[in-house]
Structure 1
């Protein structure tokens, strides 16, 4: 087993396998939708997990992102506040580009067609503290694109219908944390959903629309010392898809196609990530049949013991571990550089 596979075996194998064990205890039905970039490998690994245990399953990889769903929420003024709860500091123009995926062409249209646009676009936005300023500004901008946005929303609902995401109580899976994507999916589809996560924050509160399961922990806060949350960038950078963040949808001869943001280094050298994931499969091979996998109560401490020593991460991985966090205004982050 090479170094990357060995790392996947030792680091992610125990965590992912324990996560799936907990999902099995709480899931209702056999249909799971795996969300966003992290869902790409989680979905294939869950299939592998079920195959080893002889369990039935029906899984789908659901293409989505907060940026893309935030953009679709601009069709409904009542949903705009839901898009503004996450931290951000910068100009309105920067917010439109980073949080909603507005293109240069769209920004130019705002400058051309909206009264006092120069002043408006330069307005400093601080979130979540000054949502009042942001809501009105975002609403005024969204009216310029309402027909286009409505069309994109219809295309996306058509996509969701095509993969079977069209009835209540669908179960979704992601690594965590506030359940934002789940909330947005429930809002735009008017369907109840159940979410399965490694860890959830205090913002993942059960409602009439959404139920949240934090299988390792729930009700956590960033900065309070829970390692799977505070250093979750490691999980996000390793569990990524070969494509960039979903940021648009277009009509095509096949019905629709998706647009993606720029790839990170991890996606440009995705073959390295694939080797790490092979190690996770090997861990499942060696532990599931005998029941020797790590159990959930040991996962947080185990995770912390590895990420506190960056030298445990193979040198070939260290420079490519990147996460696109433009949504918060931070750009692309490397967890090793962030945490040292």
Structure 2
């Protein structure tokens, strides 16, 4: 099996059935934002379907550059955001937390926190109140150091129409807790509807007085460790469904650039193998998108059981995946303060 065939067989059915579910029914007056690195190929598939005349060309879908780390950073001055940024697991000291999860430089950390504060050992989410107390103590300084990036990102969102048009805002992503969706709602005071592969807590949540609706296409109400393979081994999806750039960590506006998307200067973190050899990933995903087109053209459907069984075969048996693409299964784990997670770790080899 070559790389393109692997993309057709492994990812094509998942992506096809996901998009079929998202776009069933009327889409008039809706905006669709394909989020973060995962949104790159979701947007590419949507564009190809429209090009082939298999999806309504009036559907307005837009790729939105965003990341959890960046949203955590620009909302450091908003205590309402800390429930999201401090809930993922972390073990280390406060300096490492601010450097990895919020992408603050050592110079900035030194200017705000004392050495004693920086070296405070924490274990999240158990020590969330301890961290919140430090953040509250330095609230004004933290707000100040992220204000430039926050202003720049609000300008970018306005440019992309997010929170501007009085129409329904939909976000498309793999899942699972909807953190980016909730933070976008918090930042812009815009109600949103999220369409995910899996939604751990589906339904309507209220964030800063606005509704955040979450829907899982393949599964709802499951958590990591519950035994649902597509969630427990979801990093296989995230490592392939990615953009050529690593995760967004900073943003500035270039006042000398033209008044279009070129004026936004994006800065990205460490690249994994899938970004370093993106040409291989493009070949793989071209096969997946070809299969999406085929399924839409001939009205081919997959049941959730079909997709679960297919996914489990690939991610539980390393020999099912061609040697030439195994190294692409690598993803950074900055949120937890770790380096990249490799395919050996994913396969538990």
Distance between the aligned counterparts of 2:204 and 2:337, measured in 1? 25
SS in 2 for 1:294: coil
C-alpha deviation, 1:54, in angstroms: 4.0
Stretches of structure 2 that go unaligned for 5 or more consecutive residues are 258-262
In structure 2, do the counterparts of structure 1 residues 54 and 33 end up closer, same or farther at CA, with 3 Å as the change threshold?
A: closer
TM-score for the superposition, normalised by structure 2:
0.90
Change (3 A) 1:119 1:301: same
> Whose helix proportion is higher, 1 or 2?
1
Residue matched to 2:264 = 256
Q: CA deviation at 1:283?
A: 1.2
8 A contact 1:178–1:204 mirrored in 2? no
> Contact 1:73–1:83 at 8 Å: present in 2 too?
no
Offset at residue 145 of structure 1 (A): 4.0
Shift of 1:94: 0.7
| Cα contact 1:233–1:335 (8 A) shared by 2 | no
Equivalent position of 2:169 in the other structure: 170
Tell me the number of residue pairs that the alignment of Structure 1 and Structure 2 aligns: 334
Check the 8 A contact 1:306/1:312 in 2, yes or no: yes
Name whichever of 128-137 and 162-171 sits farther off. 162-171
Aligned with 2:81 (options 79, 82, 93): 79
Name which of 277, 295, 305 aligns with 2:303. 295
- RMSD value over aligned CA atoms? 1.9
Q: Paired residue for 1:12?
A: 11
Q: Is the 8 A contact 1:216 1:297 kept in 2?
A: no
Equivalent in the alignment of 2:339: 331
Counterparts of 1:145 and 1:339 in 2: how far apart (Å)?
Answer: 39
Q: Alpha-carbon deviation of 1:85? A: 1.2
Residue pairs, 1:122-137, within 5 angstroms: 122-137=119-134
Between 302-311 and 143-152, the greater mean CA deviation after superposition: 143-152
Q: Which moved more, 1:29-38 or 1:94-103?
A: 29-38
Structure 1: stretches of 5+ with no match in the other structure: none
SS of residue in 2 equivalent to 1:68: helix
Deviates more, 1:66-75 or 1:310-319: 310-319
- Specify which of 246, 251, 269 is matched with residue 277 of structure 2: 269
Of the three residues 140, 144, 155, the one matched with 1:143 is 140
What is the alpha-carbon distance in structure 2 between the residues aligned to residue 104 and residue 330 of structure 1? 17
